[in-house]
Structure 1
Amino acid sequence: MNTENAYRYAIYYAPEPSSAWWAAGSHWLGRCALTGRQLAQAVIEGVAPERFHRCTQDPRRYGWHATLKAPFVLAREESLASLIAGLRRIANQHSAFAMPRLQVSTDGGFLALRPTVRHPCIHSTADACVTGLQALTQALTAEDLTRRRQKRLTARQERYLQAWSYPWVLDEFQFHMSLTGPLRNIPTAELTALVSAAQERFDALPACRFTHLSVFAEPQVGANFVWIDNVALRT
Structure 2
Amino acid sequence: MSPPRYALYFLPETDSALDRLGRAWIDGVAADLTAEARVYGFHATLKAPFRLADDQDEAALRAACAAFAATQAPLAEGPPTLALLDDFYALRPGAPSATLQTLAAECVRRFDPFRAPLNPAEKAKRLRTPLTPRQRQFLDQWGYPYVLDEYRFHLTLTRRLSPAEIPAVEQVLRPLTAEAVTEPLAVRSLCLMHQPAGGGFSMLARYPLEGACAS
Pair in the same fold by TM > 0.5: yes
| Cα distance change, pair 198–107 in 1 and its aligned pair in 2 (3 A) | farther
Of residues 182, 196, 203 in structure 2, which corresponds to 1:219?
196
Q: Provide the rounded CA distance (Å) in 2 between the counterparts of 1:160 and 1:136.
A: 17
Q: Name the structure 2 match of 1:233.
A: 209
Q: Structure 1 residue 141 and structure 2 residue 119: aligned?
A: yes
Moved more, 63-72 or 189-198: 189-198
Q: Per the alignment, in what secondary structure is the counterpart of residue 124 of structure 1?
A: helix
| Cα distance change, pair 191–21 in 1 and its aligned pair in 2 (3 A) | closer
> What TM-score results when the alignment is normalised by the length of structure 2?
0.90
8 Å CA contact retained: 1:110, 1:180? yes
Q: Residues 91-120 of structure 1: CA distance to partner in whole angstroms, max 9, x if unpaired?
A: 233200102220000121000000121111
User: Aligned-pair distance for 1:190?
Assistant: 1.4
Q: Provide the rounded CA distance (Å) in 1 between the counterparts of 2:58 and 2:77.
A: 28
Q: Name the structure 1 match of 2:134.
A: 156
Q: How does 1:85-124 map to 2 (within 5 A)?
A: 85-124=63-102
Residue segments in structure 1 that go unaligned for 5+ positions in a row? 1-5, 31-39, 42-51
Q: How does 1:182-193 map to 2 (within 5 A)?
A: 182-184=160-162, 186-193=164-171
8 Å CA contact retained: 2:190, 2:207? yes
Q: Structure 1 residue 174 and structure 2 residue 163: aligned?
A: no
Q: Name the structure 2 match of 1:22.
A: 19
8 Å CA contact retained: 2:17, 2:180? no
Q: Provide the rounded CA distance (Å) in 2 between the counterparts of 1:183 and 1:189.
A: 10
Aligned residues, how many? Answer: 209
User: Aligned-pair distance for 1:157?
Assistant: 0.6
User: Aligned-pair distance for 1:208?
Assistant: 2.8
Q: Per the alignment, in what secondary structure is the counterpart of residue 25 of structure 1?
A: helix
8 Å CA contact retained: 1:26, 1:63? no
Please report the RMSD computed on the Cα atoms of aligned residues, expressed in angstroms: 1.8
Letter in 1 for 2:206: N
Q: Name the structure 2 match of 1:33.
A: none
> What TM-score results when the alignment is normalised by the length of structure 1?
0.82
| Cα distance change, pair 188–154 in 1 and its aligned pair in 2 (3 A) | closer
Q: Name the structure 2 match of 1:34.
A: none
Q: Provide the rounded CA distance (Å) in 1 between the counterparts of 2:208 and 2:172.
A: 33
Of residues 97, 106, 110 in structure 2, which corresponds to 1:128?
106
Letter in 1 for 2:10: Y
| Cα distance change, pair 188–25 in 1 and its aligned pair in 2 (3 A) | closer
Q: Residues 165-212 of structure 1: CA distance to partner in whole angstroms, max 9, x if unpaired?
A: 0000000000000001111254354133234234335235x3231111
Residue segments in structure 2 that go unaligned for 5+ positions in a row? none
Q: Name the structure 2 match of 1:46.
A: none
Letter in 1 for 2:208: A
